[in-house]
A and B are shown apart, each in its own frame.
Chain A
Amino acid sequence: MHSESQIREPLILGHKTYAQITDDIIRPVEGKANKYWYILFTIACLTFLWGLGCLSYTVGVGIGVWGSNNGVDWAWDITNFVWWIGIGHAGTLISAVLLLFRQKWRLGINRSAEAMTIFAVMCAAIFVLFHTGRVWLDYMLFPLPNQFGSLWPNFNSPLLWDVFAVSTYFTISCVFWYIGLIPDFGTIRDRAINPMVKKAYNLLAFGWGGSARHWSRFEEVSLVLAGLSTPLVFSVHSIVSFDFATSILPGWHTTIFPPYFVSGAVFSGFAMVLTLMLIVRKVYNLQAYITVKHVEYMNIVIIVTGSIVGVAYLTELFISWYGGVEFEQYAFLNRATGPYWWAYAAMMTCNVVSPQLFWFKKIRTSLVATFILSIVVNIGMWFERFVIIVPTLCRTFLPSTWNMYHPTFVDIGIFTGTIGMFFTFFLLFSRFFPVIAQAELKTILKISGESQKKEVAEHAHEPAPTHAH
């Protein structure tokens, strides 16, 4: 067993044993939900229902009930799609990239972050599936033998790449998440007293027993899936950015889009993870496992990715001026000073200025400040997508097509509905699934546990055994 430097802060606080870790993490699943859970769940469900109503209205009447119009033919739908997909990216980043880099702090947060990924991609999928107008014909997105003619989908189109990228991303994330959950379901099954509960978790646990051979394979699968998911997550948001970057519209036709979208995605995703984790640790009493240090690490990722996003904004502005193309120059001037200047200002403040506050240790270790700033960042990232899409489309080449975009109640309803759906699913997840990967967390107890670290430190002060030469 290797021990870790004493300078590194412990990741599991207090004196915990293996049994205590199991108790602390599984107890919320076994116990009854408290009043707050029911209140939140009711609000989330009602919002979700309102969104479903707005979706049904869209399907019944048609896309015309949205605010999208002849000029601005992509608006809230794609803004929300990119926003949700971006949020999802943090989950994969935490569980895959941090696994490859052997970051032990990922173990406190990876399970919930992966759940967040899956629910966020589901929310994103709603927008792309319904924005086609005739949702019942969406199967035509896939390369199926086409009975309406002999045409195939166009493999040169980034929109088709998106179909493949998002569906691969969603299914691989689900598999990665579930394989990690199997050992924890085994633990719940073995502790369950109620026979019905035992049966249910037995079904979910797939017969897991924790044999050494199975653990060896488990670790190999996790490692290879992490290796596959890492380029996957970069490819998904790069392809999402290709939806814009491969067009010839000024303001969209830029080569900086893929890296800028990917870092923006990680930026907003970490903000959402923070929003959720700060609630989860409080509600389920997991302060010993999701510590202030975890929050600080995530805030550091936010500074880095937020600064990349800030540099990208400025680079875009510089290149549009330096490139000398009037159309390009106008597109950016219009974003900053045109009819939607307030959206641009909101984006700049929330995304470029606010994350810089995390340079102060006091702010990045303050839970209240982090919670507020994490929401600010998500608002900012929503505006970023809005700024890219709407102001660009409302001022294209032909001035006769110039017009404004106003969302209708249906647009707003579907968006709030997806937020409701996201929280409905997340609350159900946190109620019935272990929110921390407890089996894997136990592997770092002896290295990063607070009292275990102290013990090592005390032994270090003992006189070293003398060696005879």
Chain B
Amino acid sequence: MAATISKQIIHGIYDDEVPLLEACKKLKSAGIKIKDVFTPFPIHGIDPIIGVPRTRLAICAFIYGLTGLGLATLMMWYMMVSDWPTDVGGKPNWAYYFNIPAFIPISFESTVFCAGHGMALTYLLRCMLVPGARAKNPDPRTTNDKFMIYLELNDEQAHKAEALLREAGASEINHKGTITEKLPY
């Protein structure tokens, strides 16, 4: 039988983002891992405190954009140069570079199209945001005006965390039972 550990689920609820940030700092310096934070709007400066790494979505967008540029170039080269070099107004397309200014607008549009849609899709899938998915916030009030720190801790840490949450001005501290986690060994 695999070794298991039982962890308490704690919801620390705040009425404002300032005490929430304070609590996050306190928990961090006490060495307590914050599982997640649920807020009604983005809180600037919270990411480094709770250990959220910088997202790489912009890099994805860049790669998708290059793909779009490549696809558009390939398409226009094939259709206008390779497959059927149309002679428009005495200006045949014998090579791609002959007519490159005319190809710039579509190259640009295709870059934006692929970068934008690729990034949006990656964002939705990375966050598991799909039509009809179950609400990810444990407390429905966090999309209105409540700010929540979500913790999963063992009994000893839970005790310490609760005191810190209260000290920072939590309006509520809710215990939502325990979960059993398998240990990696």
Contact = CB atoms under 8 A, between A and B. Distances in A.
Interface of A: 1, 17-19, 22, 143, 150-158, 160-161, 164-165, 168, 171-172, 175-176, 179, 182-183, 186-187, 189-191, 202-221, 223-225, 228-229, 231-232, 235, 239, 242, 439-440, 442-443
Nearest to B81: A155
A193 B106 CA distance: 48
B116 A175 contact: yes
A442 B44 CA distance: 12
B5 interface: no
B164 to A, nearest CB: 18
A171 B50 CA distance: 35
B130 A206 contact: yes
Nearest to A26: B144
Given A18-B145, A155-B79, A179-B123, A190 B43 contact: no
Contacts of B143: 183, 186-187, 189-190, 208-210, 439
Nearest to A161: B105
Contacts of B65: 228
Interface in B123-137: 123-124, 126-137
Contact of A152 (B42, B61, B80, B115): B80
Nearest to B15: A18
Interface in B100-119: 102-103, 105-106, 108-110, 112-113, 115-117, 119
Interface range on chain B (Cβ under 8 Å from partner): 35 or more
A465 to B, nearest CB: 19
A443 B113 contact: no
B18 interface: yes
Given A152-B80, A171-B113, A220-B55, 16 more contacts: A156-B102, A164-B110, A164-B113, A175-B116, A182-B129, A190-B141, A205-B135, A206-B133, A209-B136, A212-B43, A215-B41, A215-B42, A216-B42, A228-B61, A229-B112, A443-B42
Contacts of A182: 129
17 contacts: A151-B84, A152-B80, A157-B88, A175-B120, A176-B116, A191-B140, A203-B131, A206-B124, A207-B128, A208-B129, A210-B143, A211-B38, A214-B136, A215-B41, A219-B42, A229-B112, A229-B116
Give 5 nearest A-B pairs by CB, closest first: A207-B133, A209-B136, A209-B137, A18-B145, A190-B140
Contact of B116 (A152, A156, A203, A228): A228
A228 B47 CA distance: 25
B37 interface: yes
Which among B65, B110, B127, B141 has the greatest number of chain A C-beta atoms within 10 A? B127
B142 interface: yes
